[in-house]
Amino acid sequence: MFCVAVEQDKNLQLNRDMSFIEELLKTKSILTLMNQKLQANATDIDVIDYSMSCKMLEYKLQILNSLNMSVEEDTEDEVSFNLFGSNKSVTINKAKLKEAIVIKEGPVKEVQVKEEAKTEMVAIDSADMSED
């Protein structure tokens, strides 16, 4: 949806494309480094870190692939995509989406969400309790 939303602004479109390329290059460099360590039979390979890195890279590549995907049902007026992990899809009317999105000059003010105060757990004396 973000890719469709920024089509009207050339600067955002350029930033989106550069971000896409940057993520591809990062992923490639991580894969290259991991491969070099495996080829060199390096002893500093942590199997758990390696496994987590592979999962993260797999997920990132799925996202990058889906950003670079086109669907036969796409038209000038509509864009469609599949919902990952289900047998459902979404179709978006581009005109309505563009109407709903306002690209502003300058950032909006962000505030940190305040955490609710945590209540203390009351200690229960179990000395006088039976197992029943």
Model confidence pLDDT, tens digit, residues 51-104: 877 788 788 777 777 666 666 767 778 877 777 788 888 888 888 877 887 777
Least confident of 4-18, 19-33, 88-102, 112-126: 4-18
Which pTM value belongs to this model?
Answer: 0.47
Report the alpha-carbon distance of residue 132 to residue 127 in Å, rounded: 13
Burial 75-88 (b: 16+ CB within 10 A, else e): eeebbebeeeeeee
Report the alpha-carbon distance of residue 91 to residue 79 in Å, rounded: 6
Tell me the β-bridge partners of 81.
90
